[in-house]
Structure 1
């Protein structure tokens, strides 16, 4: 009898620290065939994971959320990635009717006016499309690293995402920014040129700025808000606690 999906998080937490990134991705593809998806926003971390998936021809679906407000540099990196690997990247965009209604009621920049307005925009442009992208999936692979923020340091390399009813895995969780830069350079991976301009976390153009030396990695996202609120709704679920240890037999 197959183990409940949620219960398999404990096994992943035990075994993934012993695996390299390609081994982690291959393990996921093997144990959850056809039900593993990776979301890329074409930042440095995501480009590295894309590289591992495409270079090793792993059966993991790669998709992106096109919010309609991305930087031109991000679109250029997207195009270079397609040319470099010649592999498809699926696209999920917000519903045009929702964008039209939001803009009609509140204008194009309502997100600057309040946290509620900003979250409303994020929900339309990112959260709802992500829900469609992850429908019927069992594992969501992300580029999250512990170093990115204090909130993310409390996460685990493998978590239960109750909101989407799936397992969330962060293969680069323990990598540093310097390690990511070195790996990308050594392997000729297309890198978003915004990184060379002080951008470390890259989102929508109106909501992202470069950071100064010494600033938190997330300081450039929604910089007009309090740091405690700086998530858009994609990565807000907490790690599941009290998982059944009997499932720690996965690789066998």
Structure 2
């Protein structure tokens, strides 16, 4: 696809979605690209909202998660509670065995603390490569990203082209406030990760995530030992064309 054709398609999608409620946006996307729409979930509050809307409507949108092997027990409990609540499948993608064994064998189980390069290599093996497998053959990738999640994401647009994965990304909750998220979770009695009640905002692998302090940036709890400008794992850095 050319940049002009991509830009035109993004504009068309936004034109159709702009006036719709989130649940209606999801239904429109499912009909727009049957069998080729997927939601990635880390079982965050935002992802749980989108999962709820997809499962409750019975939409033709696949839901998947990346099991890095280093997740919190609370994350696995939320995963189980979600399966029990909705009785719908969530596909898990795992790191390549050989790549992970070689990395840990050469560098140790906690090498990500030693340098940014090793941490990024760990993320590449545990998250980025499995993500590519999860997105293969898809046209639209739905995420729970909100603008407030990170200063690095404020210049994103809620509908964009992911050059690295060659598909369209849609962030339906991009402009939602934290209060909206909490209210929706409570009103619909949606299972959520109890770590959110303990100061954890962005929840990833257990060794790389901590609760944030009052007044800290949302992203402060991830890779806190690194410079703020480095705090991305590689999942959301490929978008290069938007309709903005």
Bin of the TM-score, shorter chain as denominator length: over 0.9
After TM superposition, the structure 1 = structure 2 runs for residues 176-191 of structure 1, keeping only pairs within 5 Å, are: 176-191=177-192
Pair 241,60 (structure 1): closer, same or farther in 2 beyond 3 Å: closer
- Return the TM-score normalized by structure 1: 0.92
Choose 19-28 or 200-209, whichever is displaced more: 19-28
Asked whether the equivalents of residues 164 and 239 of structure 2 are also in contact (C-alpha less than 8 Å), the reply is no
Asked whether the equivalents of residues 41 and 203 of structure 1 are also in contact (C-alpha less than 8 Å), the reply is yes
Deviations 1:95-126 (A, max 9, x none): 11111110110000111111110000000000
Q: Where does residue 218 of structure 2 map in the other structure?
A: 217
- Return the TM-score normalized by structure 2: 0.95
How far residue 16 of structure 1 moved from its aligned partner, in angstroms, is 2.4
Q: Where does residue 176 of structure 2 map in the other structure?
A: 175
Q: Where does residue 131 of structure 2 map in the other structure?
A: 130
Q: Where does residue 45 of structure 1 map in the other structure?
A: 46
Which consecutive residues of structure 1, in runs of 5 or more, have no partner in the other structure?
Answer: 244-252
Matched pairs, number:
241
How far residue 45 of structure 1 moved from its aligned partner, in angstroms, is 0.4
Q: Where does residue 9 of structure 1 map in the other structure?
A: 10
Where has structure 1 moved over 2 Å in runs of 4 or more?
A: 3-7, 12-17
Q: Distance in 2 between matches of 1:143 and 1:241?
A: 18
Instruction: Give the match's secondary structure for 2:168.
Output: strand
Asked whether the equivalents of residues 145 and 172 of structure 1 are also in contact (C-alpha less than 8 Å), the reply is yes
After TM superposition, the structure 1 = structure 2 runs for residues 57-96 of structure 1, keeping only pairs within 5 Å, are: 57-96=58-97
Which consecutive residues of structure 2, in runs of 5 or more, have no partner in the other structure?
Answer: none
Asked whether the equivalents of residues 37 and 139 of structure 1 are also in contact (C-alpha less than 8 Å), the reply is yes
Q: Distance in 1 between matches of 2:143 and 2:34?
A: 18
RMSD: 1.4
Q: Distance in 2 between matches of 1:134 and 1:6?
A: 21
Instruction: Give the match's secondary structure for 2:28.
Output: helix
